[in-house]
Amino acid sequence: MGGDQDSAPSSNKAWCVVVEGFGDEKVLQSNIDYACSHQVDCGPIQPSGSCFLPNTLTSHASFAMNSYWRLNGQTPQNCDFDGSGTITSDDPSYGDCHYL
């Protein structure tokens, strides 16, 4: 039986999000731009999208980073984003905003 481990949680119950407390806005905007230009549907984080609110870089970056991670292999490397990403077992979905 498994105990506590530092490896990524099972991919069907794991999400790639911004590291708690990460505050470099340039990196977060770069993450959004990168993910949205690499086949990620960023419509949900656009105005009137289901994940637009809260309208913060952290929230939008988490959505875009997770979508990119899902599309590109769900490996720890694909969630790194220059040290700004982490894999969590806590579902970040809320209200009508559903993370893949």
Amino acid at position 55, single letter: N
Average pLDDT, the chain: 91
CA distance 57 to 59: 6
Residue 14 has pLDDT above 60, yes or no: yes
Predicted structure pTM score: 0.88
Kindly list the domain boundaries of the chain, sorted by start residue: 13-35+42-88
pLDDT of 6 higher than 60:
no
Region 60-79 average pLDDT = 98
